[in-house]
Amino acid sequence: AQTVTQSQPEMSVQEAETVTLSCTYDTSENNYYLFWYKQPPSRQMILVIRQEAYKQQNATENRFSVNFQKAAKSFSLKISDSQLGDTAMYFCAFMKLQTGANNLFFGTGTRLTVIP
């Protein structure tokens, strides 16, 4: 079974600073996908960034980037130049490479607060 662990229940960062959210996962699969989703107070789960495990290059999306360490099964999210709108719950998620249902396995989330 796949498990996703986010060891930081809450974090805060000063506006314009950089913050890194941690995520580790456990799997016996070799090919899979990893995601970071953001859930603001509106409760909608919004995709932040996605990484294919077969790609060595870390994914980046504007101010968001990941540090993917496959051997260590680590997938951290770095937010640069933090903005007030980044305040939200952040969920790390794992998806197996398989046919049929695309099931996302989620961590318990990290609540990020950006302080003005």
Partner 1 sequence: ETGVTQTPRHLVMGMTNKKSLKCEQHLGHNAMYWYKQSAKKPLELMFVYNFKEQTENNSVPSRFSPECPNSSHLFLHLHTLQPEDSALYLCASSRDSGTTGNTIYFGEGSWLTVV
H and E: helices and strands count for the chain? 0, 12
- If we measure between CA atoms, which residue out of 66, 79, 74, 65 comes closest to residue 14? 79
Which one of residues 91, 110, 112, 114 is an interface residue with partner 1 (CB under 8 A)? 91
The contact mask relative to partner 1 for 38-67 (x = CB under 8 A, - = no) is ----xxxxxx--x-x---------------
Nearest approach, Cβ of residue 39 and partner 1 (Å): 9
Residues of 50-82 as b/e, b for ≥16 C-beta within 10 angstroms? ebebeeeeebeeeebbbebeeeebebbbbbeeb
Nearest to partner 1 of 18, 60 (CB atom): 60
- CA–CA gap between residue 88 and residue 27 (Å, rounded): 27
**How many angstroms separate the first and last alpha carbons of the chain?**
41
Nearest approach, Cβ of residue 16 and partner 1 (Å): 28
Specify the DSSP class assigned to residue 76: E
Nearest approach, Cβ of residue 78 and partner 1 (Å): 20
Sole window of 12-20, 32-40, 56-64, 68-76 interacting with partner 1 (rule: CB under 8 A): 32-40
Does 88 help bind partner 1 (rule: CB under 8 A)?
no
Residues at the contact surface with partner 1, assessed by CB under 8 A: 4, 33, 35, 37, 42-47, 50, 52, 91, 95-109
